[in-house]
Amino acid sequence: MKRISHLVVPALLFGILAFGSAIIILSVDSLKQVRRINVTAVMKTIDRDMEFWEVVRAGMEAAAKEFDVDLKIVGPVAESDVSGQIEIMEQAVKSKPDAIILSSTDVTLLVPSVERGHREGIPIVTIDSGVDSKIPLSFVATNNVEAGEKAGRTMAMLLPPGAAVAIISHVKGATTAIEREEGARKALAENGNVKVIGTWFTNNYVENAYIIARQLVETETGTAGILALNEVSTVGAGRALRDLSLGGKVRLVGFDSSLFEIKLIEEGILDATVIQQPFNMGYRSVRAARDAVDGRKPETFIDTGSILITAENLYTPENQKILFPFVDRIRD
């Protein structure tokens, strides 16, 4: 009996110690999983009047709440302020957050800052507009070449062969501008041999888009269509065509889904718009940053998709959630 007790007691003690160790290990792992992290998002613009970026912000904030992230959103007021964004990015790197999310204003000029962040051991995720570097662990965006092709194909269907089309873009050097134009030009050439008379840049100001569009239709009398490659370009061009009573006469195909753009579709001024999914874009960028910090490799490219919206499918149930995001003001 004594020999049995000599064997049983040590066995019990060993079992208790092993069980206790397992609890400690599980507790440590649990603490690792719920550890709050600091993420700095360096955006193209923090202009609160830009509905697209407001919805991106809402997606980021929702993910930050869900994934225990302390999120700091910074950036220049004007999307054309490349030097300002570089300075803000440098400050973000110096503050050494757990991760950085970057929406780059320029495909090449932000690369040195990204490289500095990498040397500091900071995981970097890019969103919407990337950089010419393999350093970012994930790029969360619309496939912009494909989206540009959708816009170009639509314009080609609206116009006879040989018609003149002008492209109004946002910021020269931004990957969204480069890739959307690439896709649009390809589709225009393949689907009707439409003539592109040139590309004009707005520096992401509605007023510039308005002036450019007016000048195009008033002085370039052969301009039959305008391809506008982002929200600002579309809104400015749409206002110009409305003021000149040229809705339906000069064709307009744009990008994004601000409430004003929806109104332009209803009025017959905007023939179609390629919309993105900005809430999903913002949400998935924060999730990718969280995964990177936790040692889980995020997908290299996360395509958040694009949809062509026209008057025919404007109010279909499947498009309601995307077209009417949680933005509490209407712009006219």
pLDDT tens digits along 168-220: 999 999 999 999 999 999 999 998 778 999 999 999 999 999 999 999 999 86
User: Per-residue pLDDT averaged across 117-139, rounded?
Assistant: 97
Q: Which pLDDT band, with edges at 50, 70 and 90, does 236 fall under?
A: very high
| Tokens read off for 285 | 């960028």
Structure tokens at 3: 């020999």
Residue 274 CA to residue 255 CA, distance in Å, equals: 5
Cα distance between residue 168 and residue 47, in whole Å: 21
Q: What is the mean pLDDT of the chain?
A: 89
Q: Place 8 in a pLDDT band, splitting at 50, 70 and 90.
A: very low
Percentage of the chain with pLDDT > 70? 87
Q: Cβ distance 69 to 37 under 8 Å?
A: yes
- pTM for the whole structure: 0.82
Q: What is the DSSP string of 258-270?
A: -HHHHHHHHTTS-
Q: From the CB of residue 331, how many other CB atoms can be counted at a distance below 10 Å?
A: 13
Within the chain, where are the H helices?
2-34, 51-66, 82-95, 111-119, 144-158, 175-190, 206-219, 231-243, 259-266, 278-293, 317-323
Q: What is the pLDDT of residue 130?
A: 95
Taking the alpha carbons of 267, 268, 269, 274 in that order, is the dihedral positive or negative? positive
* pLDDT surpassing 90 at residue 21: no
| Residues 270-305 pLDDT 10s | 999 999 999 999 999 999 999 999 999 999 999 999
Structure-model confidence comparison of residues 199 and 29, the more confident one: 199
Residue whose entry in the numeric block shows the structure tokens 């896709």: 183
Domains, the chain: 36-142+278-299 (3.40.50.2300), 144-275+311-319 (3.40.50.2300)
